[in-house]
Amino acid sequence: MIVRLRGEMAGLLLVALGGCATNSAKTDSSAAARKETTAAMNPLLAPWQGPWGGVPPFGKFKVSDLKPALEAAMAENLAEVDRIAADPAAPSFDNTIVAMERTGKALDRAGAIYGIYTSTMSDAEVQAIETEMSPKLAEFNDKIVQNSRLFARIAAVYEARARLGLNAEQQRLLWLDYTNFVRAGAKLDDAKKKRLGELNQQLAALYTRFSQNVLAEESTQMVLLDSEADLAGLPAPLRESAAAAAASHGKPGKWAVINTRSSVDPFLTWSTRRDLREKVWRMFTSRGDNGDAHDNNQIVADVLKLRAERATLLGYQTHAHWHLEDQMAKTPERAIELMEAVWKPAVARVREEVADMQAIADKEHAAIRIAPWDYHFYSEKVRKAKYDLDENDLKPYLQLEKLREGMFWVAGQLFGLRFTLVSDGSIPVYHPDVRVWEVTDAQGHHVGLWYFDPYARAGKTSGAWMNEYRRQSRVDDVPVIVSNNANFVKGKPGEAILISWDDARTLFHEFGHALHGLNSNVTYSSLAGTAVPRDYVEFPSQLVERWLYTRPVLDRFALHYQSGQPMPPELVQKVVRTEKFKQGYITVEYLASALVDMKLHLAGATPIDPRRFERETLSSLGMPSEIVMRHRIPHFGHIFSGDGYSAGYYSYLWSDTLSADAYEAFLEGAGPYDKAVAQRLRDDVFSVGNKVDPADGYRAFRGRDPSIGALMRKRGFPVPGGGAVSSDQKATH
């Protein structure tokens, strides 16, 4: 589950020009005329037209416009920065820091479209542009960071900060700008700056190749099912979606399991054909690791080598030490300490889960030992035996569109937000599957727009994520535009799309990121919404997941797709009681990836053979043989399609420590919909972006620092210093 943060297009290291609007006061008439001419020739450069501060101009440009738009926008941005750097006036907060906030408006617009197309509409033409532009964009970022006159002005303002009478938000912005420039090499000598630029460009090119290799295998590989015998065990809705998937891939009359988690996991859960489960599992877990033209192992080794050299160049022990310095964890050691505290009880829980599954397999005389492709299948049998809950009983109540309505309702209850579908055609979209809602507050004032792109298709990155097309800013006086993206298998027209419980949780998770962006209330877009440290950004989204389990959501929106009747109370109770079910598997498959990520980036300059490193590291950790990493190294896009989550996949656990503790604030009050707690949550977490230190923001909300106890209670693990937690504790919410 990835947040697509602005500035991460092509995995770039964006340092300081986070919020960008043209500094028109410093643009002479001839430059303005040139800009108007360029914008007229390329619609991607023109200010967005339409309601609410303008919307992306989908349908008014060609893919071939992307490259010249990016090139022109980068040139314009560099010119704007040069004007700031050459300003004869003494450096001040307004003429340097705020002026930087007002640069790069055209690049923001073109970059937003570029990011949308490379992640959701990535055909051969888009990929060719991405391959060419990734290193150029990296070079552009380095030109800004390495502008010595610009940095001298930033440093001068920073040194004088105590005398400037800045408010807290201004102080935060100044500190971030200065710190980000330093961390990105602004103080290096010319020779080191040159080498750093070379490293960043090489890395950008590798990130693009890595992503495109994974996308190629996800888009083209599938397991075709030829006969009724191949469908054994699959419920009717899953058969129908498999038929639709085959038809969409040019195989009408057959059924297909496509190479995306939303297709693979349901098959692994229900298919009674163990041979086909193994085949599907191997397809999915081998992405990027097939020894062919799309194999990513050498790319991974090259990325790690270059990152290690870059960290040394910047004066850090390892890439992990560099990356965590400005995160909440601060050091790799603190992140590892948290992960190891959870790892042992999680592995112990896996042992219990496997024993339960093996007992059922033995009772059924299956004559097998539980393997990774058996875990989902037999865990469902355990759920049925222990909790009398069958996913087949649950799934008919999990309609994608009804759950979307449930998310909107939760947003209204917690934050007073209202969502209205824009159906008059006034807002263009990039694909017919995409829909747009206007978001208003409790007083009916416009807040922003929410784009929803829920279905899998060729050229679309797998998984689910949130993206900010435009961040909120009072400097620019523009409302926010966000999107949620997923890869559900599209069914027949007019038919309800039924999703799994895990997919429903993911849906709420990504919507939590969207709410983080929509609630933003800051002055400077560099600080807006999700522009927070990685190990904090997942906190709001993981918190919003919890409302899926609440009775009002289940009673109102978990409606049977045929009868329209709500989920029976006894089934609701079973769902809530199983909130901690399978937490061993969920935690271990995630933590294995997070620990491998950290250890990869603590290895420094040691040459890495990815296959061997993965195998030996998991063995040293005591990884249960029945589970594989959630993201194996050759397709671990979080850490190898960009710098964002590299040495930072631990962030989900760090953030969940906060989310578990924060949810208990509601339970200690009047319950999940406590208005006073929700108001504090909005004021101190969802609206403040990065204008306050995240630790300070959390303490303002909670009144104290978080502890690991809430996280362990949430997952049903033994609490340090206290006993185990009942699986149905607080079951009624």
Region 454-473: mean pLDDT is 95
- In terms of domains, do 351 and 484 share one? no
- In terms of domains, do 521 and 418 share one? yes
Q: How far apart are CA 24 and CA 559, in angstroms?
A: 53
Measured between alpha carbons, how far is residue 377 from residues 287, 308, 357, 585, 723 in Å? 22, 41, 9, 13, 31
Indicate the residue type of 297.
N
Asked if the structure places residue 667 within a domain, the reply is: no
Could you say which of 552, 577, 602 is where a domain stops? 577
Could you say which of 608, 631, 652 is where a domain stops? 652
Can you give the pLDDT at residue 82?
A: 98
Region 356-365: mean pLDDT is 98
Q: How far apart are CA 712 and CA 306, in angstroms?
A: 37
Region 290-299: mean pLDDT is 98
pLDDT exceeds 60 at position 314: yes
Q: How far apart are CA 192 and CA 273, in angstroms?
A: 58
Percent of the chain with pLDDT over 90: 89
Say how many C-beta atoms besides its own lie within 10 A of residue 71's C-beta: 16
- In terms of domains, do 436 and 545 share one? yes
Can you give the pLDDT at residue 492?
A: 82
- In terms of domains, do 72 and 197 share one? yes
Among all residues, which ones are annotated catalytic?
Answer: 510
State the pairing for strand pair 435-440/418-421: antiparallel
Q: How far apart are CA 700 and CA 680, in angstroms?
A: 8
pLDDT exceeds 80 at position 209: yes
The beta-carbon contacts of 277-282 under 8 Å, at least 24 apart in sequence, are 277/373, 277/374, 277/377, 278/371, 278/373, 279/223, 280/223, 280/373, 281/372, 281/373, 282/373
Beta strands in 189-334 (DSSP E): 222-225, 255-258
Q: How far apart are CA 549 and CA 526, in angstroms?
A: 34
Burial annotation 628-647 (CB, 10 A radius, 16+ → b, else e)? bbbbbbbbbbbbbbbbbbbb
Say how many C-beta atoms besides its own lie within 10 A of residue 32's C-beta: 12
Can you give the pLDDT at residue 151?
A: 98
Asked if the structure places residue 470 within a domain, the reply is: yes
Instruction: Quote the pTM value.
Output: 0.91
Structure confidence by residue, pLDDT tens digits, 227-285: 999 999 999 989 999 999 999 999 999 999 999 999 999 999 999 999 999 999 999 99
Region 310-334: mean pLDDT is 97
Asked if the structure places residue 686 within a domain, the reply is: no
Structure confidence by residue, pLDDT tens digits, 679-709: 999 999 999 999 999 999 999 999 999 999 9
Residue 188 near residue 196 (C-beta atoms within 8 A) = yes
pLDDT exceeds 70 at position 25: no
Can you give the pLDDT at residue 28?
A: 42
Measured between alpha carbons, how far is residue 183 from residues 295, 406, 646, 727, 729 in Å? 32, 42, 16, 45, 45
Region 192-216: mean pLDDT is 97
Write the burial class of residue 416 (CB in 10 Å: 0-12 exposed, 13-18 middle, 19+ buried): middle
- In terms of domains, do 381 and 474 share one? no
Asked if the structure places residue 80 within a domain, the reply is: yes
Structure confidence by residue, pLDDT tens digits, 602-632: 999 999 999 999 999 999 999 999 999 999 9
Region 525-546: mean pLDDT is 97
- In terms of domains, do 571 and 586 share one? no
Structure confidence by residue, pLDDT tens digits, 41-62: 899 999 999 999 999 999 999 9
Can you give the pLDDT at residue 3?
A: 37
- In terms of domains, do 237 and 136 share one? no
Kindly state the helix (H) or strand (E) to which residue 466 belongs, with its residue range. strand 465-470
Region 392-403: mean pLDDT is 94
Region 590-608: mean pLDDT is 97
Report how many helices (DSSP H) and strands (DSSP E) the chain contains, helices first. Answer: 28, 8
Angle at 139 between CA 137 and CA 140, to 5 degrees: 60
Tell me, what CATH number does 400's domain have?
1.10.1370.40
Q: How far apart are CA 543 and CA 390, in angstroms?
A: 26
Residue 434 near residue 452 (C-beta atoms within 8 A) = yes
pLDDT exceeds 90 at position 89: yes
- In terms of domains, do 111 and 130 share one? yes
DSSP state letter for 419: E
Can you give the pLDDT at residue 169?
A: 98
pLDDT exceeds 80 at position 27: no
Q: How far apart are CA 271 and CA 230, in angstroms?
A: 8
Region 111-117: mean pLDDT is 98
Nearest to 472, CA basis, from 409, 420, 544, 524: 524
Which domain range does residue 587 map to? Answer: 297-389+582-652
Residue partners of 489: CB distance under 8 A and separation at least 6:
241, 242, 244, 245, 258, 262, 263, 455, 456, 497
For helices 148-159 and 168-183, give the axis angle rounded to 10 degrees.
140
- Which of 31-40, 143-152, 457-466, 472-481 shows the lowest per-residue confidence on average (mean pLDDT)? 31-40
pLDDT exceeds 60 at position 452: yes
Residue 700 near residue 691 (C-beta atoms within 8 A) = no
Asked if the structure places residue 666 within a domain, the reply is: no
Q: How far apart are CA 500 and CA 320, in angstroms?
A: 35
Can you give the pLDDT at residue 2?
A: 35
Q: What are the φ/ψ torsions at residue 72 (nearest 5 degrees)? A: -65, -40
Can you give the pLDDT at residue 369?
A: 98
Work out the mean pLDDT of the chain and round it to a whole number. Answer: 92
- In terms of domains, do 587 and 572 share one? no
Could you say which of 652, 670, 693 is where a domain stops? 652
pLDDT exceeds 90 at position 658: yes
Write the burial class of residue 42 (CB in 10 Å: 0-12 exposed, 13-18 middle, 19+ buried): buried
Can you give the pLDDT at residue 494?
A: 87
Structural domain count of the chain? 4
Q: What are the φ/ψ torsions at residue 255 (nearest 5 degrees)? A: -130, 150
Can you give the pLDDT at residue 1?
A: 37
Burial annotation 435-461 (CB, 10 A radius, 16+ → b, else e)? bbbbbbeeeeeebbbbbbbbbbeebbb
Asked if the structure places residue 682 within a domain, the reply is: no
Tell me, what CATH number does 644's domain have?
1.10.1370.10
Asked if the structure places residue 675 within a domain, the reply is: no
Region 545-566: mean pLDDT is 95
Indicate the residue type of 110.
A
Asked if the structure places residue 47 within a domain, the reply is: yes
Residue 661 near residue 702 (C-beta atoms within 8 A) = yes
- In terms of domains, do 570 and 518 share one? yes
- In terms of domains, do 484 and 461 share one? yes
Q: How far apart are CA 118 and CA 115, in angstroms?
A: 5
- In terms of domains, do 476 and 558 share one? yes
Can you give the pLDDT at residue 41?
A: 81
Indicate the residue type of 581.
F
pLDDT exceeds 80 at position 30: no
Q: What are the φ/ψ torsions at residue 231 (nearest 5 degrees)? A: -95, 5
